[in-house]
Chain A
C-alpha cells in the first residue's frame, strides 16, 4: 500500500515537473523573441496561414509588401476553401512576372471551425486540425508562421511553438489581427496575444486594450 502511494505520487510529481518545465520553456522562448534574427542568414522561410475568404485577401495584401528575401513561402489553406488557392496563385504569378523566380507551395489542412459550427464540434475539428498541423510544420521547419486570425492558425502556431519548446527549431509567430477587429480581438487573437512573438492590431482602440500589441495604423 505504501509502495503504491510512493509510485503514484512519484508519477504525479514527474507529470507536474514536466508540465512546469514545458510552460517555463514556452514563456522563456517567447520572452526572447527580439534576440532571434533568422534574417541574418539572408532569407526567411515563411509559413502563411491563408485561412479563407477575407482572411486570404488580407494576408495577400501583406505578402505583397514583403521583399523576395521571404523565401520560400508555404501557404496553408482550409480544405473546404474554394477561392483562396486561386487568389494565392494569381498573386504568386504576378510576383514572378515582376522579377525573381517564385518558390512557393500550397498545403491543405482540415478547417478548425466553420462559420456557424457549434462550439462542441469545434473542439473535435480543432483536434483533427492539430493532428495534421504538427507533421506539416515539423516537415517544413519555417522561420516564421504568419497568420491573421482564421481558426486554422491556432493549431499551426501551436505546432510552431512545439518545435521551439523541443529545441528543434525556433519559429517566430507573427500575428496580424484582421482589420475587421476594431473593438475586440478574434478568438484566435485572444489566444495568440499570449503566444506570439509579434502581435499587430490595425485600430488604435485595440492597442489601448492590448498594450503589448504593435499598432502601425491600418495595414491592409
Chain B
C-alpha cells in the first residue's frame, strides 16, 4: 500500500482537487506505484466521488481536528502552499509536493515554496503543471528538513522581559 495525502488547509482550493483527480494525474500516481489517495478538501465545492479515480482507493473529507494521522500514514503529501501544512509535512519527514495557488490576491506563499525548493526540501508547481510534475519529479533528490529552533526565541524573550 502506498498512499498520497492531499490537503488544502483551512479554506478551499478546488483547482487543486480538480487537478489531482484528473485522468492524467491519477495515471502518473498509479505509474509511481500509489494505491490510495486521501483528500482533505476544506470548504471546497469540488468533492470527488469515491469511485472517480479508477485504480486508486479514494477517501475524501472536509475537515478533521487533526490531520497528523493522515500525514503519518502517507508516503507523499501534496499540499497547498500554506506554511502550517508545509511545516507539518516537513516535520513529519514526508516527501512534499506543494501546489501554489496563482489565483490568490497576494501570492506571498510562493516565497516560502521557492526558498524551500532552493534548499531541496520540497518540490513546487501550479495546478496546470501538476500532472507533468507528478510524472517527472525526482523525490530522491529531496533532503531532510531541520526544524526551526523556537528555543532561541524563548531564550531571547526570557532575557528581554527580565525572567532570567
- A211–B116 alpha-carbon span in the complex (Å): 23
Chain B's closest residue to A176 (CB) is B153
Contact bitstring A173-197, B, C-beta under 8 A = 1, else 0: 0101011111110110000000000
Q: How large is the interface on A (under 10, 10 to 19, 20 to 34, 35 or more residues)?
A: 35 or more
- Chain B residues with Cβ below 8 Å from A163 are none
Is the pair B150, A67 in contact by a Cβ cutoff of 8 Å?
A: no
- Chain A residues with Cβ below 8 Å from B152 are 216-217, 219
Choose the segment among B16-24, B52-60, B78-86, B123-131 that binds chain A (4+ C-beta atoms closer than 8 Å). B78-86
- A174–B164 alpha-carbon span in the complex (Å): 18
- A40–B83 alpha-carbon span in the complex (Å): 35
Is the pair A62, B150 in contact by a Cβ cutoff of 8 Å?
A: yes
Contact bitstring A185-220, B, C-beta under 8 A = 1, else 0: 011000000000010101100000000001011111
Is the pair B111, A183 in contact by a Cβ cutoff of 8 Å?
A: yes
Shortest CB-to-CB span from A51 to chain B, Å, is 10
**Residue B144 CB within 8 A of the other chain:** no
- A65–B148 alpha-carbon span in the complex (Å): 11
Is the pair A143, B161 in contact by a Cβ cutoff of 8 Å?
A: yes
- Chain A residues with Cβ below 8 Å from B10 are 52-53, 81-83
- Chain A residues with Cβ below 8 Å from B149 are 216-219
Q: How large is the interface on B (under 10, 10 to 19, 20 to 34, 35 or more residues)?
A: 35 or more
Is the pair B153, A37 in contact by a Cβ cutoff of 8 Å?
A: no
**Residue A66 CB within 8 A of the other chain:** yes
Contact bitstring B81-121, A, C-beta under 8 A = 1, else 0: 01111011000000000000000111011011011000000
Is the pair A38, B162 in contact by a Cβ cutoff of 8 Å?
A: yes
**Residue A152 CB within 8 A of the other chain:** no
- A37–B65 alpha-carbon span in the complex (Å): 38
Is the pair A179, B83 in contact by a Cβ cutoff of 8 Å?
A: yes
**Residue A121 CB within 8 A of the other chain:** no
- A161–B45 alpha-carbon span in the complex (Å): 42
- Chain A residues with Cβ below 8 Å from B87 are 54, 57-58, 61, 179, 220
Q: Which of B115, B149, B153, B158 has the most CB of A within 10 A?
A: B153
Known contacts being A52-B10, A54-B9, A116-B104, is A65 close to B151, with CB within 8 Å?
A: yes
Chain B's closest residue to A35 (CB) is B162
Contact bitstring A146-183, B, C-beta under 8 A = 1, else 0: 00000000000000000000000000101010111111
Shortest CB-to-CB span from B44 to chain A, Å, is 14
Is the pair A218, B148 in contact by a Cβ cutoff of 8 Å?
A: yes
**Residue A28 CB within 8 A of the other chain:** no
- A178–B9 alpha-carbon span in the complex (Å): 16
Is the pair B114, A64 in contact by a Cβ cutoff of 8 Å?
A: no
**Residue B132 CB within 8 A of the other chain:** no
Contact bitstring A64-93, B, C-beta under 8 A = 1, else 0: 111101000000000001110010001000
- Chain A residues with Cβ below 8 Å from B66 are 86, 90
Known contacts being A39-B161, A184-B108, is A219 close to B83, with CB within 8 Å?
A: no
Q: Which of A52, A82, A200, A219 has the most CB of B within 10 A?
A: A219
The chain B residues found within 8 Å of chain A, CB to CB, are 9-11, 63, 65-66, 82-85, 87-88, 104-106, 108-109, 111-112, 114-115, 147-154, 156-158, 160-164
The chain A residues found within 8 Å of chain B, CB to CB, are 34, 37-40, 44, 52-58, 61-62, 64-67, 69, 81-83, 86, 90, 115-116, 143-144, 172, 174, 176, 178-184, 186-187, 198, 200, 202-203, 214, 216-220
